[in-house]
Amino acid sequence: MQTVSSVEEMKRYCRAVHTRGRAIGLVPTMGALHDGHFGLIQRAQSKCPVVVVSIFVNPTQFGAGEDFEAYPRNLEQDIRALESLRVDAVFAPDAGAVYPPGFSTHVDPGRMAATLEGAVRPGHFRGVATVVLKLFQIVQPDVACFGQKDFQQVVIIRQLVEDLNVDVQLEIVPTVREPDGLAKSSRNFYLNSEERQAATVLPRALHRAQELWWAGERSPAPVINAMQHALAAEPRLQADYVTIREPRRLEIPETIEPGSVALGAVRVGSTRLIDNVIFGPREMSDAKLVDLVLARYSRPR
């Protein structure tokens, strides 16, 4: 496995792979790798003969007072894990290589960056969109894999790829969960055992929304109310938002349809967690639910 920190060296490596006619799958991460990331890597490996994993805790997607400094960093451990997964190359640049002095050009995702996570974290998606476009330019991946857990990020990057005509196929991989339902996240490392238990109320509230939909409820308001009620029952947990959106523009739908999404963000102590579930038939697998979302994106060309 190649471990690369220089942008120019990463470009050379990827150009050489493409010159040999081999496709590259990219998995962008902030490190502190867990089963969620490993699912992304497996997907990339199933699609491409060469897989590049980037590890970069991107300062520009963290706001003032957020957890940039505290964000878990385990580069050596991550590299050992990626080696055992037979990843081909790790791209782990430092911030000065990604944002040299004088850096001034950003990618602005527009209105969808101002809602949900963007309302709580101003500038977050501008930082995400900029670094993801940079990674796309450096690696020129044929396929790039993102996790459903960061649902708004997926929607914004999909729109970016369409709007800026980036030549990459996006893969959305279903959220990986702990046995008790908590979505895998690097930020789960922050939780003490009491907080860890309180955090499971978020996936339970989202699951409650699915149950109401399965029982025939199609109107967002009562479903959102039920989720708020479920979250309010846990005093150690503060909700930033819990809502239902359609997956194309992230607007509140009149009717909850297959492919609509319930999203929530909560604070447990000083830790902020997000999660989401996709509405669809009860018997449908998570992978098929993601396909429902993707089907909402297809449009005539």
Hey, which residues are catalytic here?
A: 37
Smallest gap from Cβ 123 to its own copies, in A, equals 12
CB of 127 to its own copies, least distance (A): 12
Q: CA-CA distance, 298 to 301, in Å (whole number)?
A: 9
Taking the C-alpha atoms of residue 65 and residue 59, their distance in angstroms, rounded to an integer, is 12
Element housing 194 (H / E)? helix 193-199
21-39 b/e (C-beta count within 10 Å ≥ 16 → b): eeebbbbbbbbbbbebbbb
The CB-of-5 to its own copies minimum distance in angstroms stands at: 12
Residue with tokens 């490190």: 31
> Please, which of residues 172-201 interact with its own copies by CB under 8 A?
none
In angstroms, how far is CA 102 from the centroid of its own chain? 29
Among 55-63, 130-138, 194-202, 278-286, the segment contacting its own copies (CB under 8 A): 130-138
Say whether residue 96 binds its own copies (CB under 8 A).
Answer: no
Q: Which whole-number Å values give the CA distances from 166 to 10, 135, 156, 159, in the listed order?
A: 19, 12, 13, 10
Contact assessment for residue 262 and residue 279, using Cβ atoms and an 8 Å cutoff = yes
> Parallel, antiparallel, or unpaired: how do β-strands 271-278 and 261-268 relate?
antiparallel
Q: Nearest approach, Cβ of 292 to its own copies (angstroms)?
A: 19
Q: Which of 159, 175, 185, 243 binds its own copies (CB under 8 A)?
A: 159
Q: Measured from the CB atom, is 74 or 140 closer to its own copies?
A: 140
C-beta of 7 vs 284, nearer to its own copies? 7
Which residue stretch of 115-123, 158-166, 276-284, 286-294 sits at the interface with its own copies (rule: CB under 8 A)?
Answer: 158-166
Binding segment for its own copies (CB under 8 A), chosen from 53-61, 161-169, 210-218, 271-279, is 161-169
DSSP state of 111: G
Q: By CB under 8 A, tell whether 129 contacts its own copies.
A: yes
List contacts with its own copies (CB under 8 A): 6-8, 11, 15, 100, 102-112, 129-130, 133-134, 137-138, 140, 159-160, 162-167, 248-249, 299, 301
